[in-house]
Structure 1
């Protein structure tokens, strides 16, 4: 709606998984390098932890876009609240096993495990090193899932099979892993994704605007300090606040977005409107 007013070619603050909008902040770039190291050096299992809206799933998407073909398939499970047999079945199919031969409701867990094992062997015979991402892993309530993931890693103990397992979630995931000491012990690389600094907050906003086609300032100088204070450097909060601020600026025909406008928009975002 406001794109033409601000001379933008696309929405700069939309919640899209487009790698071109990735801003190489220090915490996000450091996390990406760690994950690349995990995969490219066959370290086995890794952990990516961070608060809500900090960019964990987005970082996984950027990671996928930068990996070589040898690291395909890239399986990204975003709904991990499954039973152990459902998890094994899902992974087997996503890795390329014939879905018709896998029926999680039917008896024969050993048959599904063999199907998964055969598929991993086939991929590795083809020279591939697949990546399995379990996103929102802090939502797993069945502790048997963590035991199943530990057993899955046991496939790596043979030289024929090579894949990477990445667990992604918020801080609650750490306590889950403490109750699964064997799996926790197999985590080779750990990444803690932190919010932006004030410098990265400004860089993030300017980068997104530039990618969207705007090379001239939209926010007044003191607006970035206010933006950082209001969002605490959380990318999702920054996106929502900036998106609505640009809409208000368009509606009011403002030349720039001031600190006062950001404050008013932030208050509108958190204020309940009575019936």
Structure 2
């Protein structure tokens, strides 16, 4: 709606998995390097932890875009609240096994495990090294899932199978892993995503605007400190506040987004609408 007004080619603050908008802040660039090391050096299992809105899922998408073609299939499970047998079935199919006959409600867990094992073998024989991402893993309530994932990693002990398992979630995931010490001990790489600093917040906003095609300033210089104070450097909150700020600026025909605009937008976001 406001793109032409601000001379933008695309929406700079949309919640889309577009790797071209990746901003290499210190925590995010360090996290990406660790994840690339995990996958490319066949370290087995990794952990990516961060609060809500820190960009964990987005970083996984960026990782996928930067890996060589041999690191596929890239399975990204975003609904992990499954039973162990449902998890095995899902992974087997996503990795390329025939869906016919892999029905989690039909007795025969051994059959599904064999199908998963065969598919991993086949992929590795073809020169591929799959990546399995379990997103929102802090929402897993069935502790047997973590036991199943540990058993899945045992496949790696054979010389003809190689894949990466990445667990992604918030801080609660650390508590879950403490109760599953065997899986926790298999985690080779651990990444923690932190919020942006005030300087990174400004650079992040300017980077996204530049990628979207805007070369001239949009936010007043003093607005960036206000933006940081309102969002505490949380990328998702920054995106939402900046997006609405651009909309208000367009509606009011402003030349720059000022601190007052951001404060008004932030208040509107947290204020309940009266009856």
TM over 0.5: yes
- Tell me the equivalent position of 1:269: 269
Question: What is the DSSP-based 3-state SS (H/G/I as helix, E as strand, rest coil) of the residue aligned with 1:188?
Answer: strand
The TM-score with structure 1 as length reference comes to 0.99
Aligned ranges 1:126-165 → 2 under 5 Å:
126-165=126-165
Question: Alpha-carbon deviations, 1:22-68, whole Å to 9, x = none?
Answer: 11111100000000000000000000000000000000000000001
Aligned ranges 1:189-200 → 2 under 5 Å:
189-200=189-200
**Partners of 1:254 and 1:127 in 2: how far apart?**
56
| Alpha-carbon RMSD | 0.5
Aligned ranges 1:88-237 → 2 under 5 Å:
88-237=88-237
**Partners of 1:4 and 1:123 in 2: how far apart?**
47
Aligned ranges 1:1-16 → 2 under 5 Å:
1-16=1-16
- Tell me the equivalent position of 2:30: 30
Pairwise CA distance, 1:9: 1.0
Question: What is the DSSP-based 3-state SS (H/G/I as helix, E as strand, rest coil) of the residue aligned with 2:23?
Answer: coil
Pairwise CA distance, 1:101: 2.4
**Partners of 1:54 and 1:234 in 2: how far apart?**
6
- Tell me the equivalent position of 1:42: 42
Pairwise CA distance, 1:260: 1.1
- Tell me the equivalent position of 2:249: 249
**Partners of 2:269 and 2:40 in 1: how far apart?**
42
- Tell me the equivalent position of 2:59: 59
**Partners of 2:113 and 2:212 in 1: how far apart?**
46
Question: Alpha-carbon deviations, 1:201-240, whole Å to 9, x = none?
Answer: 0111001101111000000001111100100000000000
What runs of 5+ residues in structure 2 fail to find an aligned partner? none
Question: Alpha-carbon deviations, 1:155-207, whole Å to 9, x = none?
Answer: 00111110000000000000000000000000000000000111110111001
What runs of 5+ residues in structure 1 fail to find an aligned partner? none
The TM-score with structure 2 as length reference comes to 0.99
Question: What is the DSSP-based 3-state SS (H/G/I as helix, E as strand, rest coil) of the residue aligned with 1:100?
Answer: coil
Structure 1 runs of 4+ aligned residues shifted over 4 Å read none
Pairwise CA distance, 1:103: 1.0
Aligned residues: 275
Pairwise CA distance, 1:273: 1.1
**Partners of 1:28 and 1:172 in 2: how far apart?**
20
